[in-house]
Structure 1
Amino acid sequence: EAHEHLDAARDCLDRVTLAEGARGDLLTLIPYLVDRTG
């Protein structure tokens, strides 16, 4: 049971890491898009 719990926690952590990475990409993309449209 503890093993399943650990897997769930790791899965959650992976998702958070992905979200952080996506947010970082977005933050670098926004100025680029603003430059293109503005």
Structure 2
Amino acid sequence: HEHLAAARSCLDRVPLARPAREDLLTLIPYLVDRTG
């Protein structure tokens, strides 16, 4: 998943609180599956 890797690297640059970041990381694969 190139999209997943790109999203992860973007999230690494954003100083989000850890819980929010974990939530996003669980949502990303779902969104990628939905969008193809």
* Consecutive aligned runs of 4 or more in structure 1 exceeding 6 Å deviation: none
Structure 2: which 5+ residue stretches go unaligned? Answer: 1-15
How many matched pairs?
A: 21
Flag the structure with larger Rg.
Answer: 1
Residue 34 of structure 1 pairs with residue 32 of structure 2: yes
Higher relative contact order (CA 8 A, sep 6+): 2
Task: Please report the RMSD computed on the Cα atoms of aligned residues, expressed in angstroms.
Answer: 1.5
**1:1-38: per-residue Cα shift (whole Å, max 9, x none)?**
xxxxxxxxxxxxxxxxx710000000000000000000
Q: Structure 2-normalised TM-score?
A: 0.54
Counting aligned pairs with the same residue, the percent is 86
Structure 1: which 5+ residue stretches go unaligned? Answer: 1-17
